[in-house]
Amino acid sequence: MPNPASPAPHSSLARVISWLDENEPQSLSRLVDWLKIPSISTDPQYRVDVKRAAQWAADQLAAAGLPAQVLPTGAEGKPGHPVVLAHSPGAPDYQGPHVLFYGHYDVQPVDPVELWDSPPFEPVVREGEPGGPGRRIVARGAVDDKGQVMMFLEALRAFKAVTGQPAGGVKFTVLLEGEEESGSANLEPFVKQHEAALRRCDFCLISDTGMLGRGKPAITYGVRGLAYTEVTLIGPDQDLHSGLWGGRVLNPNAALCQVLSQLWDKDGKVTIPGFYDAVRPISPREREAWAKLPWSAEEALRSIGLPKEADWGEKGFSPTERAWARPTAEINGMYGGYTGPGAKTVIPSRASAKVSFRLVADQDPAKIPGLFFEWCKARTPAGFRWEFVDHHGGHGVTVPIESPYLAAASRAVQAACGVEPALIKSGGSIPVAGMLKAILGIDTVFMGFGLDDDRVHSPNEKFEIECFRQGARSHAALIAELGAVKK
Ligand code: BES
Ligand code: MN
Ligand code: MN
């Protein structure tokens, strides 16, 4: 790997960055076009829109000189959403790594839609506010992940425009998924089906994570895994009048609350036997490095409307340690009985909860649901029974920080933003990274530009223009850096 790409005034990187600056309005209006397509992968009603969003991305890649295919996934009768696959062969004398760029073009559902200040698929640019967020695009998918994929697509477009070469002569395979937000059910078969081609890639590059804060770019070297379950506790074989039966049978809603309230002990530890068995301890070196990061737990709490006293979590660990390197259990939703308007007196027959676990190395997402279901069974009220669903999951990953690819991305961010990126981990999950490690043996570099207050998955999701700019420049700098590796 060569040394830092500090762009000489007439170098192709400097010209690419000027191109990005001059064409930013057009870049953003292209992003707006993409954001208008409601590619919600989890809701079958949007199937056609998801496909449209895929085709739209394929057209962008083609415009940047990378012929792209929109490939179907899934099986007969169980169709998945398409994968966009594109390739740039690299310049004849290119000697650098073959990069697999991964992103997702699907988005989360928009509900509760009434909490949006503007319709989720009618993107608007809002001006920055002093002391508040900067100039930003507000729409579903703005930061997760269309806006972040767009930074890369625009860097490709800029290189094509300035050098005439697709991807500046770097060897790329681009894979854009349409099911990331709904569990990636068809990705593993797809990767296995294309294993021979994907095996040529040396590492995976993803822009789907965040920074440490405004003006504090970061490279993420680890994400958590996930195991997602749904449990239903079933009591009587029918809903009951709560007056006639209250006091004579246990209420499944109450019983489920009683069971799930035992998930944590007084120290915030998950009580499921075996849950922590494979958890790798945090190294003293990481503890020290994380404690020094310019990040304030108190400020983070304030940004979500809570005082510092509201800090909660596993005892003995700092907030960053808890989010980046400790597993957790969450109740994402509970339902049972009457939840409509007004009052209805009822003891429901059944009560359900969506319970998920964030996992860390070396926990196995295939094992955790079984442990949880056994734990539930051991707490079954007399005469009651359970139904269990294991939804989806993914392995967490940690990238060796000595990786030359991580170092290259780090230099690119430094060159593009003028600041050395912090090395951070994230509490979120990006299942493809673990999958690629398991199937292809390759590591992932997470070069993301989101902010903690971007309202990912929530109403009024946004992506700040300054973050977009820094991301597009960083991708350009990384391409320049890799392209400089010649025979
Ligand atoms: N991009 C997010 C994950 C993320 C966000 C990582 C911010 C780091 C920082 C991704 O699209 C996502 O939402 N992942 C899901 C998991 C998936 C299996 C539904 C998650 O983390 O809940
Ligand atoms: Mn994402
Ligand atoms: Mn997401």
**pLDDT tens, residue by residue, 443-480:** 999 999 999 999 999 999 999 999 999 999 999 999 99
Could you give the count of Cα atoms lying within 13 Å of 347 in the half-sphere of its Cβ? Answer: 20
Comparing CA positions, the residue from 252, 218, 241, 231 lying closest to residue 391 is: 231
Mutate to test the pocket of ligand 1, among 140, 180, 328, 358 (most ligand atoms within 8 A of CB): 180
Could you read off the pLDDT of 23-79 as tens digits, one per residue? Answer: 999 999 999 999 999 999 999 999 999 999 999 999 999 999 999 999 999 999 999
Nearest atom (ligand 1) to Cα of 220 = 8
pLDDT of residue 4: 44
pLDDT of residue 486: 65
> Residue 8 — pLDDT band, cuts 50, 70, 90?
low
Q: Are 418 and 196 in contact (CB under 8 A)?
A: no
Q: Which ligand is nearest to the CA of 181?
A: 1
> Residue 22 — pLDDT band, cuts 50, 70, 90?
very high
* CATH level 2 (architecture), domain 225-279+327-394: 2-Layer Sandwich (3.30)
3-state secondary structure of 86: strand
pLDDT exceeds cutoff 90 at 110: yes
In the chain, residues under CATH classification 3.30.70.360 are 225-279+327-394
Residue 218 CB burial class (10 angstroms; 0-12, 13-18, ≥19): buried
Mutate to test the pocket of ligand 1, among 430, 446, 451, 455 (most ligand atoms within 8 A of CB): 430
Nearest atom (ligand 1) to Cα of 208 = 1
CA of 208 to the centre of ligand 2 (A): 5
Residue 473: Cβ within 10 Å count: 26
CA of 172 to the centre of ligand 1 (A): 24
Q: Are 217 and 413 in contact (CB under 8 A)?
A: yes
- Cα distances (angstroms) measured from residue 379 to each of 172, 233, 323, 335, 382: 52, 11, 29, 19, 9
pLDDT of residue 483: 86
Q: What are phi and psi of 270, to 5 degrees?
A: -75, 135
CA of 429 to the centre of ligand 1 (A): 5
* Ligand 1 and 431: CB distance under 6 A: yes
The rounded distance, in Å, linking the Cα atoms of 435 and 117 is 37
pLDDT mean over 250-258 = 98
pLDDT exceeds cutoff 50 at 2: no
> Residue 484 — pLDDT band, cuts 50, 70, 90?
confident
In the chain, residues under CATH classification 3.40.630.10 are 13-223+397-483
> Residue 5 — pLDDT band, cuts 50, 70, 90?
very low
The rounded distance, in Å, linking the Cα atoms of 219 and 213 is 12
Q: Are 84 and 70 in contact (CB under 8 A)?
A: yes
Residue closest by Cα to atom 13 of ligand 1: 181
pLDDT of residue 3: 44
Task: Write the CB contacts of 48 (distance below 8 Å, at least 6 apart in sequence).
Answer: none
pLDDT of residue 1: 47
Could you read off the pLDDT of 114-128 as tens digits, one per residue? Answer: 999 999 999 999 999
pLDDT mean over 169-193 = 96
* Ligand 1 and 106: CB distance under 6 A: no
The rounded distance, in Å, linking the Cα atoms of 72 and 78 is 11
The rounded distance, in Å, linking the Cα atoms of 364 and 373 is 15
pLDDT exceeds cutoff 90 at 9: no
Residue 291: Cβ within 10 Å count: 11
* Percent of the chain whose pLDDT exceeds 70: 98
Average pLDDT, the chain: 96
The rounded distance, in Å, linking the Cα atoms of 350 and 354 is 14
Q: Which CATH number fits domain 13-223+397-483: 3.40.630.10, 2.40.128.120, 3.40.50.620, 3.90.25.10?
A: 3.40.630.10
Residue closest by Cα to atom 15 of ligand 1: 429
pLDDT of residue 131: 85
